[in-house]
Structure 1
Amino acid sequence: MSETRLADHDLAALVPEWIDWAETARLLDVTVGKVKTMIRDHDLAAAVPVPGEGQKVPAAFVQDGLVVKGLPGLLTLMHDNRYDDREIIAWLFLDQDDLPGAPIDALRENRGTEVKRRAQAMAF
């Protein structure tokens, strides 16, 4: 009857591939310090997928050497609506019946307008 809260999803099972901050930095051609700043500034999101491991970034957030188009704005929007990185990552990777697929797939396919509209609606 009750839906699983975003924060309660198993991120390790939900996100197919994770990369550490060093690999993220390598793929984006920036320093690890810059990756940390990008996470703090909501240009990227990170979480601990498995207890005892460090924070990692979903590999799908990086495409062709750049942060996926539209992701930073979406992260800021969702943070402004009091979602944390863990909840945002879960939402981005959960399939949506009428999208189709998951919001991260839509962002990677340059279909971010609908994703942003859905994120705005979640604030209400």
Structure 2
Amino acid sequence: MTSSDSNLDTLVGEWLTLREAAAPLGVSPNRIKTLIRENRLMGVVRGGELSIPAAFIDGDDLVKGLPGTLVLLSDAGYSTEEALRWLFTPDDTLPGTPILAMRENRGTEVRRRAQGLAF
């Protein structure tokens, strides 16, 4: 693991394997891969296994507004690692992290900021 990976692990905290992410959503691990390909989820390879941040799952669904926000970040030219860093880096003006704001139903402001990144 590189120091960059370690830093991302520190920011994200808890990770889920495809199987762990699929269980609460009631889908197969292959469906999680499809959601990643469709840019509705983001995952990185950790320890040889594709994993997603646990914070992306809210009960039995994805965090409200996550897929749209991921598309905005991708459209702004953010790589997966850059998008994850942005979502999990504290921002005093929110306050908290963008993913925390989305989990607290404050996603409109997060998406507004993500749209502004492209300009």
Indicate whether the TM-score tops 0.5: yes
Match of 2:35 in 1: 38
Deviates more, 1:102-111 or 1:81-90: 81-90
CA offsets, 1:56-98, max 9 Å, x none? 1000000011000000000011111211221111110000011
Q: Distance in 2 between matches of 1:27 and 1:42?
A: 19
Pick the aligned partner of 1:14 from 1, 5, 11: 11
Pick the aligned partner of 1:83 from 64, 78, 102: 78
Q: Which has the higher helix share?
A: 2
Q: Distance in 2 between matches of 1:45 and 1:23?
A: 15
Unaligned runs of 5+ in 1: 1-7
Q: Which has the higher strand share?
A: 2
Match of 1:70 in 2: 65
Question: Percentage identity across aligned positions?
Answer: 48
Give aligned pairs, total: 115
Deviation above 3 Å: which 4+ runs of structure 1?
A: none
What is the TM-score when the length of structure 1 is the normalising length? 0.87
CA drift of 1:36 comes to: 0.4
Corresponding letter in the other structure for 2:56: F
Q: Distance in 1 between matches of 2:108 and 2:117?
A: 15
- Name the SS of the counterpart of 1:98 in structure 2: coil
